[in-house]
């Protein structure tokens, strides 16, 4: 498998986030494939957090000579809030007492020298999608895991993926004992059962699909 290497790999691994290396490598390969299948079209990431996965995606977008639009409200998902399992107090803005991952994300993009390739888009994913007019080569969905959030992300973005383009989904667990079911049921199954997408690969909790119609 082609892998991200060198300083950028080190930066990705050091960045706060939840993507294992092997899944990051699979995401990198998927993005390279999307760029080849849909040359010139941009890529979109839904849910960037501190930029760990964005380094893998951004590096692939740069290689393909295209842009990556990283969409996140940067206030953290439900599971990242105070009192929840995945809360990280180091990401709380001392002046507001609220989670704010944007400064951490921007620092990561600067360290990885990806500011010319990655376009930071701060806001609500479906709202941004509602005014989006361009086809995209790839959409990576790794946003909130509440059922309505996951369903809305898929509904908002799947139609923008070009024929032959890639839909990648993180945290897909078929067994409820391993994790929440929203990415699996509200995104993955919706994509497969809708007939517009077909499986390409599965690596850990990362599922990669291609648009077939």
pLDDT of 191 higher than 60:
yes
Domains of the chain as residue ranges with CATH: 6-211 (3.40.50.150)
Write down the pLDDT at residue 7.
Answer: 97
pLDDT digits (tens, 9 = 90+) for 52-64: 999 999 999 999 9
Of residues 27 and 85, more confidence is placed in 27
Name the pLDDT band for 197 (thresholds 50, 70, 90): very high
Asked if residues 51 and 15 have their Cβ atoms less than 8 Å apart, the reply is yes
Average pLDDT, the chain: 93
Indicate if 145 belongs to the active site.
Answer: yes
Placement of tokens 């295209």 in the chain: 66
Asked if residues 48 and 103 have their Cβ atoms less than 8 Å apart, the reply is no
Residue 67: φ, ψ to 5° = -110, 155
Name the pLDDT band for 65 (thresholds 50, 70, 90): very high
**What is the mean pLDDT of the segment spanning 68-78?**
86
Placement of tokens 């049921």 in the chain: 185
pLDDT of 80 higher than 80:
no
pLDDT digits (tens, 9 = 90+) for 101-139: 999 999 999 999 999 999 999 999 999 999 999 999 999
Strand 68-72 with 43-46, pairing: parallel
Say how many C-beta atoms besides its own lie within 10 A of residue 103's C-beta: 12
Strands annotated E in 63-132: 68-72, 92-93, 98-99, 118-122
Asked if residues 66 and 33 have their Cβ atoms less than 8 Å apart, the reply is no
E strand or H helix at 164: strand 161-169
CA 141, CA 153: separation in Å to the nearest integer?
A: 7
- Per the residue annotation, which of 73, 74, 104, 145 is the catalytic one? 145
pTM for the whole structure: 0.93
Placement of tokens 């300083």 in the chain: 7
Write down the pLDDT at residue 2.
Answer: 80
Beta bridge mates, 119: 69
Least confident of 17-31, 67-81, 87-101, 149-163: 87-101
């Amino acid at each position: 498998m082609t892998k991200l290497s060198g300083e950028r790999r080190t930066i990705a691994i050091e960045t706060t986030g939840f993507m294992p290396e092997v899944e990051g490598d699979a995401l990198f390969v998927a993005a390279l494939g999307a760029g080849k299948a849909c040359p010139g079209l941009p890529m979109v990431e839904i849910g960037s957090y501190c930029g760990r996965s964005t380094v893998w995606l951004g590096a692939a977008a740069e290689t393909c000579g295209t842009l990556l639009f990283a969409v996140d409200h940067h206030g953290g998902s439900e599971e990242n809030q105070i009192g929840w399992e995945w809360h990280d107090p180091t990401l709380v803005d001392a002046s507001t007492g609220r989670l704010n991952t944007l400064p951490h994300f921007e620092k990561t993009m600067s360290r990885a020298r990806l500011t010319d390739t990655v376009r930071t888009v701060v806001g609500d994913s479906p709202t941004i999608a509602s005014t989006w007019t361009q086809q995209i080569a790839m959409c990576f969905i790794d946003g909130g895991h509440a059922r309505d959030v996951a369903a809305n992300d898929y509904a908002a973005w799947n139609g923008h993926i070009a024929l032959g383009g890639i839909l990648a989904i993180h945290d897909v667990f078929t067994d409820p004992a391993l994790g929440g079911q929203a990415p699996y049921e509200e995104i993955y199954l919706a994509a497969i059962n809708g007939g517009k997408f077909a499986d390409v690969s599965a690596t850990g909790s990362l599922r990669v699909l291609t648009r077939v119609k």
